Amino acid sequence: MSDQIHRSRRNLPHWYREGFSAIYSITFRLADSLPLEKLTFLEKERERFINDHPKPWDDEIWKSYHLRFTEQIETWLDAGYGSCFLSRLEIRQHLIDALLKFEGERHDLIAGVIMPNHVHLLLHPREGTEVNKLLQGIKGTSARWINKALGLTGSNLWMDESYDHIVRSKEELKYLTNYIRENPRSLSADSFWLEEREVSLNLRSDPSYEMLFVFTKA
C-alpha cells in the first residue's frame, strides 16, 4: 500500500494521499462569486508572478503564491459579490443535503460553513473514496438540485476550480476549524450554515502525520 502524496495542478494544487487516512481542507465557490474585473486583475498579477518564477516550483514558491493570491480571493469572497444564492435557506438546503447524503459512508464531516457565495469544508474521505471524486459528487448533485430550484437548469453553478489540501497537523486543524467558525461572524444567522463535529481519527499508522487528530467544540 502506497503512502505517496500526489499533487495535481491547474491554477490551484490538488492533493490526495493513497493508503492512509487524511483530513482535507476544501474550498469551492459559485461561478459568479468574483467580478470579472477583479479576476482579470488577479490573472494579470498571477501571470507576472509565474513569469518571475519559472516552473517547476518548490513548496516555498507555492506557499508564496497562495499567500499572495488565495488569500486575496478569500477576502473578495467574504465581500459578498455575485448572486449569493446560498444565503437563501431553501437553496442552501440542497447543498447541505448533497454534502450529508453519504456522510458516515463515504466521508466524515469535521467542520463546514456554507457562506452566501462559497463553501469551506474539513472532510475525512473514508477508505476507497478519492477526495476529487467525492467533491465532484457533492458539487454535481447540488448543482442539479439548485439549478432546478432556480429555474437555471444547464447553467454553470459552481466555479470549475476548487481548492483542496491535506491538513498536516493538529495545529493546522485547529487553525482551520477556527477559521470556519469565524468566517460568518459578520453575517445574519439565517444567511449561512455552520456545522462542527467531534471527531477522533487514529493516524498512528502514518508516521508523517500527528499521531492523533482530535477535534472538539471549544
For residue 10, pLDDT over 50 is answered with no
**How far is 73 from 175, CA to CA, in rounded Å?**
19
Overall pTM surpassing 0.95 (yes/no): no
- Reference 119, options 155, 164, 156; nearest CA is 164
Q: Find cell 490538488 and name the residue.
A: 14
What mean pLDDT is predicted for residues 12-38? 72
* Cell output for 208: 508523517
List, for residues 123-146, the tens digit of each pLDDT value: 988 888 888 899 999 999 999 999
Greater confidence, 94 or 68? 94
pLDDT level of residue 37 (50, 70, 90 thresholds) = confident
Give burial (CB, 10 Å; 0-12/13-18/19+) of 72.
middle
Q: pLDDT tens, 138-183?
A: 999 999 999 999 999 989 999 887 888 888 777 778 888 998 999 9
Q: Which long-range contacts (CB under 8 A, 24 or more apart) does 204-208 make?
A: 205/20, 206/3, 206/20, 206/21, 208/3, 208/168
